[in-house]
Amino acid sequence: MKNQLNRRDFIKTVAATGVGLVIGDDLLAALNHDVHSGPFRFGVAGAPMEKVRIGYVGVGGMGTAHVENLLKIEGAEIVAVCDIVESRVKRAQDMVEKAGFKRPDGYSKNDFDWQHVCERPDIDLVYSATPWQWHVPVSLAAMRSGKHAVTEVPAALTLDECWELVEAAEETGKYCIMMENCNYDKVEMMILNMVKKGMFGELLHAECGYLHDLRAVKYDMEGEGVWRRDFSMHRNGDLYPTHGLGPIMQCMDINRGNYFDYLVSFGTKTRGLHEYAVNRFGAGAPEAGEKFTLSDIVTTVIRTMNGETIVVTHDTSSPRPYSRDIMVQGTHGLVRKYPEPKIYIEGVSQTDDKWEPINEYLKKYQHPVWVELEGASAGAGHGGMDFIEDYRLINALLKGETPDMDVYDAVAMSVVTPLSELSIAREGKPVKFPDFTRGMWKKPRELPVMRV
């Protein structure tokens, strides 16, 4: 192995030579041969827990929604909450106390107060719902302090960060889980159930993405605009692939007998955020002078090892209705969610070559998880899927079962961001996916969410 370029040497070489994103295939290949550092976590469950003691880092909008869900889940105990905004910490503390539980300790002294949460011996699980750049530091500190790590999406922003998460999870034996709530959407779970029952035949193709007008959000200086617009200034790739790709990964058995092979990405011109700033703030305003790098629309095509293709679209700078553009197609038919859910299955649909509504299919093929939890999830965020996501995680830990996602799933989705950047920088050339599993993806294994 001493003549082989490992991951850390690769990063040093890129930094020293100023190559940046435009790198050769020989350097990229080095990421696929990193030294294996610990026991693989495929299918390995922890011991059952009497309760899950939680430290929560980042209690803004999404973090507060998770706290609200956790207060309704038996066996979850919130021990500490952390945020750089003291009023948010107090809000979360008040929520816990009002629900009849002991008031959690609060941390809000500085940007790094979350380290004290990770170091506490009375915590089993650290949640992170911070700005993206903090996801990896918090997750690494949690695992290295003997806690399971749970992070909002994306799990990581760079190739190096993806490898760091994998290595830390393997070295510590702790879970590193990305909270992809769209995996638990009612329609997406119905589609997954139908795929596993063979209703669409052998899968061939899928489409997905994140198509969401976030122009106002990126300029909201009381919220995500404080940090999110900065990514549009300095990076050009699919910055948010997981909401669409997560459900498709499950349908295509990625990391469970199948894997992403390579991708190609293309970006349009950059116009949307500048035009929005001029129209909202005026042509002479400082905001109108900001320069952006992110293409208004980024299109990525992925080919899997089993020969399927996936089109992933990122569009957060355009005036448009919301969509995750979900479509799954197989040898027997296809289903599409947006703009209206519709389906066609050869020999099953009542009219040849015509779409039909999914209503009757939803009654017949509703996923067992939704059958079990629809009542309990009523009123929770994003149509209930946020509660189901939290419930499934806590319930798995309490029972000593493997959670629905693992660190390999988290990085397989998250790495689309830096790989798409690389492909765009190389004028649409194909880029191979690093094999974070070192070949273990070839072994079929159960998708836990289908265990019920």
How far apart CA 412 and CA 419 sit, in angstroms, is 11
SS3 24: coil
pLDDT score, position 15? 37
User: Does pLDDT of 28 surpass 80?
Assistant: no
Is residue 149 classed exposed, middle or buried when 0-12, 13-18 and 19+ CB atoms within 10 A define those classes? buried
Alpha helices in 235-327 (DSSP H): 242-251, 272-281
Structure tokens at 342: 């519709």
How far apart CA 57 and CA 214 sit, in angstroms, is 24
pLDDT cut 70: percent of the chain above it: 90
Structure tokens at 245: 């790709």
DSSP 376: H
Tokens 């009219």 sit on residue:
351
What is the per-residue pLDDT across 56-84, written as a single tens digit (0 to 9) for each?
A: 999 999 999 999 999 999 999 999 999 99
What are the φ/ψ torsions at residue 155 (nearest 5 degrees)?
-70, -30
Least confident of 45-54, 88-97, 235-244, 275-284: 45-54
User: Does pLDDT of 389 surpass 90?
Assistant: yes
pLDDT score, position 13? 38
pLDDT score, position 41? 52
What is the per-residue pLDDT across 136-189, written as a single tens digit (0 to 9) for each?
A: 999 999 999 999 999 999 999 999 999 999 999 999 999 999 999 999 999 999
Average pLDDT over the chain, rounded to whole?
Answer: 92
User: Does pLDDT of 442 surpass 80?
Assistant: yes
DSSP letters of 404-420?
A: S--HHHHHHHHTHHHHH
For residue 131, which of 84, 181, 92 has the smallest C-alpha distance?
84
What are the φ/ψ torsions at residue 195 (nearest 5 degrees)?
-60, -45
Is residue 154 classed exposed, middle or buried when 0-12, 13-18 and 19+ CB atoms within 10 A define those classes? buried
pLDDT band at 20 (very low <50, low <70, confident <90, very high): very low
Residue range 304-325: average pLDDT?
98
How far apart CA 375 and CA 377 sit, in angstroms, is 5
Q: Where does 183-450 sit in CATH, by number?
A: 3.30.360.10
Question: Measured between alpha carbons, how far is residue 363 from residues 174, 313, 357, 358, 368 in Å?
Answer: 38, 30, 12, 9, 11
Alpha helices in 174-300 (DSSP H): 186-196, 215-218, 228-234, 242-251, 272-281
Which residues, including other chains, have CB under 8 Å from residue 147's CB and lie 6 or more apart? 55, 118, 123, 124, 125, 126, 174
pLDDT band at 36 (very low <50, low <70, confident <90, very high): very low
How far apart CA 261 and CA 441 sit, in angstroms, is 12
User: Does pLDDT of 402 surpass 60?
Assistant: yes
User: Does pLDDT of 42 surpass 90?
Assistant: no
Under 8 Å between Cβ of 389 and 179: yes
User: Does pLDDT of 25 surpass 80?
Assistant: no
Q: Where are the domains of the chain?
A: 1-35, 52-179, 183-450
pLDDT score, position 452? 74
pLDDT score, position 44? 64
Question: Measured between alpha carbons, how far is residue 272 from residues 218, 220, 267, 299, 315 in Å?
Answer: 12, 16, 13, 16, 10
pLDDT score, position 3? 32
CATH classification (class only), 52-179: alpha beta
pLDDT score, position 43? 53
User: Does pLDDT of 16 surpass 60?
Assistant: no
Say what the pTM is: 0.92
Residue range 392-420: average pLDDT?
97
pLDDT score, position 298? 99
User: Does pLDDT of 12 surpass 60?
Assistant: no
What is the per-residue pLDDT across 315-366, written as a single tens digit (0 to 9) for each?
A: 999 999 999 999 999 999 999 999 999 999 999 998 889 999 999 999 999 9
pLDDT score, position 246? 98
How far apart CA 43 and CA 39 sit, in angstroms, is 12
pLDDT score, position 46? 82
